Structures are given as structure tokens and as C-alpha cells.
Amino acid sequence: MTGITSYGAYIPWYRMNRKIIFDQLGWFNPASAGVARGEKAIASHDEDSITMAVSSAIDCLTDMPRNSVDGLFLASTSLPFAERQNSAIVTEALDLRSGVRTADFSGSLKSGTTALLSAFDAACNGASIMVCASDSRVGKPGSSQEHTFGDGAAALLAGTEGVIAEFKGSFSVSRDFIDYRRISEERFSHGWEERWIRDEGYLKIIPEAALGLAQKYNLKIADFAKIIIACPVAAALRGLVKAFGAQPEQIQDNLVSNVGDTGAAMPLLMLSAALENANPGDKILMVSYGNGSDALFFEVTDEIQKVQKRRKGVTGHLAERNDLTTYGKYLVFKNLIPVEAGIRGEEISPTAMSVLWREGRGISALVGSRCTECGTPQYPRQRVCVNPECGAIDQMEDYRFSDKTGTLTSYTGDNLAFSWDPPQVYGLVDFPEGGRIFIDLTDCELETLTVGMPVSMSFRRKYQDPQRGFYGYYWKATPVR
């Protein structure tokens, strides 16, 4: 049996009411009032599609051995690197073994389901493949896309052992339908007339895939407990529901009202949400969209009950939020306006590529060492045990801190140090088995921090070095809420 063996999700902590955008630029584009409702999830200044993919994968791998993963596929239309494998960075951060297969999928909003289908092909040969879909697209200020685009990620593990949702089949459609387009030198996408995209795109391509699957496997729309349609346009979605003859309770929430259009991540994020409340025997139809469409058919197994409630998932991330009420802060986070960073902000101390290679696991996966004589962990990795009662030399084994929960021992809010989200907050974190790390804190407000509060590790963008065309990544601590 081939199918999904685990799921995970990630939605950024920051959310912004779309009315804030309209209040600032509604005068320029009054037509955007139609999409200026609800709120959208916004990646912080230290997040991108790579860091969000790592967070969703960590959620997916809860209580699972990481050495069981044979490959990792990353799907996104907003990959940070054009010539450096982004999925390999995710693999390093997760501390997966070096023998895994990695691949980037991009160029289309349905790249998430394309990656998933490729994972199922590999799973049929006995492999366990992690699929991460993550997007952090930027809409041009004043556009409707600025209102609708949201940031998020989802991860699914494909395999043959412990299947929670069996993959029953698929039907794919490929069309060079140019609704939105962007060349590699551009940051913002171009769109054609919206009514044409709705009538000729969503309302024709999605039914072709969905009804094609139903005919292929002799199914009726009424057979599905949940139908996932990756369509962010409300009018088109209503037309699709009518065309399918589906009941309202069958349609999975697309999360556009409270997260936004998450691009390549949308169908996988919706599937993760559906699995959180699925029952054994439920049939699920998932349909993506983007230069065609992929329709996938799943049937939930009894194994689902072993996974539910053990993942933070969509529900858990939706519950953790903080309002972003300043439009200017949003523009800075998205690097849409230049701001005076000052002398300290202009000073970048990049990590040398040779150092990153030599100390890769310590930097990328937060791997330290643990003394095999007394069991004391420490970071960074040392030859001599830090325990004064031990002092063993060269008796160390690898010890990963990134998946451990620590305790905030002390903290500081520094208004002199440069930060894109001041003040710069950092502190000491102690771990229950031993080990202490001096580390930045993120996704928090200074006044809410307390000594002794639990914190978890989160993979984030540490700095950006435009002169060398490089982003540096490291771990930060976030409060456990």
C-alpha cells in the first residue's frame, strides 16, 4: 500500500488584516475592495520558503525517526536560490542522512502536487520521500495580489509503511494557459484579464482534471467526504462547486480568508487540514491548478488515528498569531522599500563557505556533541567534556539540539544592535539534558518573555549578503505557546 504516512504544516506567526492594505492604497486601486476582507499570513523578515519548509517538515516528522527518510522534494515558485539546490538546504537543516535524494520543483503553482506524484512513484519502489511545498510570493503594492497572497508551507511523507491515507490514483492535465507569468529577472508576476482567467482557466481546466479522475476510477463526486480545490478566487470556486454538483460540507476550506493564497503550498496545506479531522474510510479528492491541473484520490485508513492530535498542523498554527498593524513594517519585511539600516545594519559578517562546509551540521542542523562517558551534551561540538567531574577527551558522539525544547535562562532586548524588527532580542537557553546556547529569539515581543519559559528552535534566515548573492541560515529560539 502506497500513500501518505505523515503530514505537517506551518503558518507564520504574523497576520495582517487586509483592510490595512486597502486603507493605504485603496485610493489607487478602488477595485481591490472586493478582496480587502479577512487577513493574510506574513512571513517575518527572517523567513522565506526554505525556512517555512523546514518548519513544516519538523511538524511532519514529530515522533518519527529522521534516518527513515530516503528523499526530500521541495516545491515552490519563490525559491531563494536559482543556482543552489534549495531542497539540499532543507535536508541539511533537518539533519537527514547524506544518502537522501533531493530535488527542487518549481515553475508552476501545481508544482506541489507534481512533487507529490513523483514521491509516490518513488514510494512504489520502497522509498520514503518527504514532500515540502512552501511559498512566500510578493504582490506588487496596490494590486489585488498584495491582498490575496499569503505565506505558508506544508509537508507530506510518502511511503508504504504506516499509511494514513492510501494513494488510489490520479489524473493530470497539462495546459500552457498563461494566466500569470513572471520571468526570472522579475519579482512581481503579470496577470491577464481576471474574468478570462476565471472562465477559461479555473472553470475549464480544474473540471477537466477532477471529472477525468472520476471517470477513470468510476467514481461520483458524492463518493468523496472532502474535496480540495486549490482555487483562491471565490467566484470561480463557487462556479466549480456548482459544476461538480458537490455539497458545501464536502468542500475543504481553502484558507484564503485567514491565511491567503499560498501558491504551490495551497493544495498540500488544505490536505493537511483535511487529514486533521478525517475519519477512516473517508475518500478525499485533491485538485491543484497551474499550467494545468493534477487530481489525486486518497482513502483514509485506520492509521490516521495514530497521527492526529500529535501534530501542530494547520489548526495549531492558526491559533498562534500576532497582528501586524503597520503597513510600513510589512513593506520592510518584504523588502519593498529601502530603509536606513545605519552603520551597524550595513556591517555584514558572512560565514565563509569553507567554514560552512567544515562546520555544516553544527550550523545548519544545530548539532553539538554528547560525552559518551557521562552523557553531558554541549554546543558547539568540543573534544573535551564540559562536565568538570568528567573531563573525558575525544569521547564524543553527535547530539542534535534543533529538535529539543529548552528553557530561557536570561534574555536581553538590545535597541543599539541592528534588527529588522527591533529590538534585537537574544538570550541564554538551557536544555534539560544539558547544554547551553546563546541565541537570537524571534516571533516574540519583549514584554511577553519571562525567565524560565520553554522555547523551541526554529530555522531562520540569519542575514542576507547582496554583495555575494547569499543568504545565511541559522537557528533561533521561539517561545512555546
Q: What is the 3-state secondary structure (H, E, C) of the chain?
A: CCEEEEEEEECCCEEEEHHHHHHHHCCCCHHHHHHCCCEEEECCCCCCHHHHHHHHHHHHCCCCCHHHCCEEEEECCCCCCCCCCHHHHHHHHHCCCCCCEEEEECCCCCHHHHHHHHHHHHHCCCCCEEEEEEECCCCCCCCHHHHHECCEEEEEEEECCCCCEEEEEEEEEECCCCCEECCCCCCCCEECCHHHHHHHHHHHHHHHHHHHHHHHCCCCHHHCCEEEECCCCHHHHHHHHHHHCCCHHHECCCCCCCCCECHHHHHHHHHHHHHHCCCCCCEEEEECCCCEEEEEEEEECCCHHHHCCCCCHHHHHHHCCEECCCHHHHHHHCCCCCCCCHHHHHCCCCCCHHHHHHCHHHHHCCEEEEECCCCCEECCCCCECCCCCCCCECCEEEEECCCCEEEEEEEEEECCCCCCCCCEEEEEEECCCCCEEEEEECCCCHHHCCCCCEEEEEEEEEEEECCCCEEEEEEEEEECC
Tell me the pLDDT tens digit for each residue of 16-66: 999 999 999 999 989 889 899 999 999 999 999 999 999 999 999 998 999
- Neighbour count for residue 435 (Cβ, 10 Å): 20
Predicted confidence (pLDDT) at residue 275 exceeds the cutoff of 80: yes
Judge contact between 264 and 134, C-beta under 8 A: yes
Cell reading at 381: 561540538
Judge contact between 44 and 14, C-beta under 8 A: yes
Tell me the pLDDT tens digit for each residue of 420-472: 999 999 999 999 999 999 999 999 999 999 999 999 999 999 998 887 888 99
166-177 mean pLDDT: 96
Contacts of 375 (CB under 8 A, 6+ apart): 433, 434
In whole angstroms, what is the distance from residue 69 CA to residue 88 CA?
13
Confidence of residue 268 (pLDDT cuts 50, 70, 90): very high
Predicted confidence (pLDDT) at residue 411 exceeds the cutoff of 90: yes
240-267 mean pLDDT: 96
Judge contact between 262 and 152, C-beta under 8 A: yes
Predicted confidence (pLDDT) at residue 404 exceeds the cutoff of 80: yes
Tell me the pLDDT tens digit for each residue of 127-144: 999 999 999 999 999 999
Query: What pLDDT does residue 462 have?
Result: 93
Domains in the chain: ranges and CATH: 3-333 (3.40.47.10), 404-479 (2.40.50)
Query: What pLDDT does residue 350 have?
Result: 80
